[in-house]
A and B are shown apart, each in its own frame.
Chain A
Amino acid sequence: MTTGRRLRSDRSLKVVFAVAALVASVTNASAHRLDELLQAARIGIDDGRLHLELDLTPGVALSEAIVADIDRNQDRSFSRDEQDAFVGNVLGALLVMADGRALHLSTDSLSFPAVEVLQRGEGFIRIRAEAALLPATAGQHAIFVRNSFRKDVSVYLANALIPQSDRIAVNAQKRDGPQSELTIEYTVAPARIGATSLWMTAMTIVAMILVLKSAAKTYPHLP
């Protein structure tokens, strides 16, 4: 074994013992989520946009594995590239469909706690992502979300947010047992023509009639 490898091996052992000691101390007196990754998703539906908020909270027993997933160069910090790569893996494990059509999620914002905070089982990773929806046509629609990221250790929460637009109303939320899948059924109301729009339309028609009448008088030979 090379010296470098031995050092890494010693370091790994120390980390394992430290985590084991921490887990033991927590387990003895408390029953907070230790060996599960809580993934809480909230989905907002807007005119033409879908907003996804996803919080990942690893239990203390899992935190070192999650840290290792993110901190690929093992420098005990999360660089922007490492954060982006991790978020790419998370979003890659999500299937989001609108009326049966797969959507492409793009990262809007992300926040990571410091390594030591995550190791203490305290912090959570927050991802905000968006996808474009086809222009909302009046009628029934459905969004389907399936989260397959780290299914082996995850528990899920999945909820629709109240839509900001008063044209959109969520009718039902259907989930599988563990909430790794959520279908949001919603209705889009017909676009209302406002009083101003009606007034402008009427004025335009009147103006066109007047122009045509004037043209007919000026050029009587026109057909």
Chain B
Amino acid sequence: MDSRPQFRTAAVSTIVATIVAGSFLSRALTSQTLSNQSGTTARIAGAAQAFVSTLDERARAKAVYPTDSAQKTNWSNLPTGIYQRNSLRLGDLNPAQRAAVMKLLATALSAEGYRKVVDIMNGDELLQQRGSAGRGGGGGPRFGLDEYYIAFIGTPSTTAPWMLQFGGHHLAINLTLAGNQASMAPSLPATQPASFTFEGKTVRPLGDENDKAFLLINALDAKQKGQAIIGSRVADLVLGPGQDGKTIQPEGIRASALSAQQQTMLWDIVREWSGIMADAYAEPRFTELKSHLNDTYFAWSGPTTNGSAAYFRIQGPTLVIEYAPQNGVDHIHTIYRDPTNDYGAKIAKR
């Protein structure tokens, strides 16, 4: 008896079954992802609404702005006293309200992202303790935990677009939510000091970013380094505060010219920024960033020995990350942008 027809039938059945199962699995995963995102948005909106409900009318006016408000772009790396943020100051809140703000941040960010934000704020508190600038008065710059500000651009919602804006000296988190979509661009995690002792432990708010980048540049061979290294000093962020809507020509080595291991190292650096927002949003964002491998670049300026001050940039069609040390290694500025989706421009339209 010829067994070929039976084999053919079995093979076709297997292929069809695999396709159908794959399709169901894919749909189930997509559905699960969307469900996670919607659930996260609901939790963030709930935490935001809980905080807003504790505010009196005057405080609410400083915290909640219309969706078209210019407050959206009112953020900076500079401290109070040099830069006026206008929004609601943590130092003007009672302990329960401050706790509600931190609970909101813990809900809106990943565990690692929240840790980074708290470390940056603790570094600034140390500046305040070490420094001479007046706290709560005078004309000079002011530092410390009291000098962080919160605002909502639009009303916290599970469906309509709105933005959570939190920041102060060396920190700007601009998280736009629109239903089950989110964008954390532009955001500015920076730090000074870059390393300090807090509760007996050494804290380096942006230490992983620094170390992973040095690992990658030193994993490149001479030819790759020649492509990656820019032969001039980059003094500061090119696309820092006030530079919305600009797209500079990418430079450096194309990610597609890196080995698989080097690419993994590159994405590991990217995750330090894209992973600041809650995991439910960070994962799809990361998948999207990886889909632009051929058009993503890594550029470096400065020495390649860890412990030196070196600038680097990772740029793709939907990504700009810059890391710019200021006059040494103890003061770091960084920026994270999505040229297509800063302030949620893309997701707010949907």
**Residues A26 and B140 in contact, CB atoms below 8 Å apart:** yes
A26 to B331, CA, bound (A): 14
Name 15 extra pairs, CB < 8 A, besides A25-B134, A55-B242, A120-B81.
A25-B132, A26-B140, A30-B127, A31-B327, A31-B330, A53-B246, A122-B82, A122-B83, A155-B236, A157-B235, A159-B248, A161-B246, A162-B249, A170-B249, A173-B251
B-side contacts of A33, CB under 8 Å = 236, 326-327
B229 CB, nearest partner CB in chain A, Å: 12
A159 to B169, CA, bound (A): 27
A32 to B235, CA, bound (A): 12
Assuming the contacts A31-B327, A122-B83, A162-B248, asked whether A40 and B132 have C-beta atoms less than 8 A apart, the reply is: no
Q: Does B197 contact A (CB under 8 A)?
A: no
B-side contacts of A179, CB under 8 Å = 232-235
A69 to B117, CA, bound (A): 40
Assuming the contacts A22-B139, A31-B326, A40-B238, asked whether A161 and B132 have C-beta atoms less than 8 A apart, the reply is: no
Q: Does B247 contact A (CB under 8 A)?
A: yes
**Residues A38 and B78 in contact, CB atoms below 8 Å apart:** no
A-side contacts of B139, CB under 8 Å = 22, 120
A-side contacts of B143, CB under 8 Å = 29-30
Most buried by B among A25, A31, A160, A173: A25
A-side contacts of B238, CB under 8 Å = 40, 157, 159
**Residues B249 and A22 in contact, CB atoms below 8 Å apart:** no
Q: Which residues from chain B sit less than 8 Å from chain A, CB to CB?
A: 78-79, 81-84, 127-128, 130-134, 138-141, 143, 169, 192, 230-236, 238, 242, 246-249, 251, 326-328, 330-331
**Residues A30 and B232 in contact, CB atoms below 8 Å apart:** no
Assuming the contacts A60-B82, A159-B238, A178-B233, asked whether A173 and B249 have C-beta atoms less than 8 A apart, the reply is: yes
**Residues B330 and A120 in contact, CB atoms below 8 Å apart:** no
A113 to B133, CA, bound (A): 24
A53 to B239, CA, bound (A): 13
A218 to B236, CA, bound (A): 78
B-side contacts of A58, CB under 8 Å = none
A-B contact pairs, 15 of them (CB 8 A): A22-B140, A28-B132, A28-B133, A29-B128, A29-B143, A30-B79, A30-B133, A31-B328, A53-B246, A155-B233, A155-B235, A157-B238, A175-B230, A178-B233, A179-B232
Interface size on A, residues (CB 8 A): 36
Assuming the contacts A42-B246, A122-B78, A159-B249, asked whether A30 and B131 have C-beta atoms less than 8 A apart, the reply is: yes
A21 to B327, CA, bound (A): 22
A-side contacts of B82, CB under 8 Å = 26, 32, 60, 120-122
Assuming the contacts A22-B140, A42-B248, A173-B251, asked whether A30 and B192 have C-beta atoms less than 8 A apart, the reply is: yes
The 4 closest A-B pairs by CB, nearest first: A29-B131, A25-B140, A175-B232, A155-B235
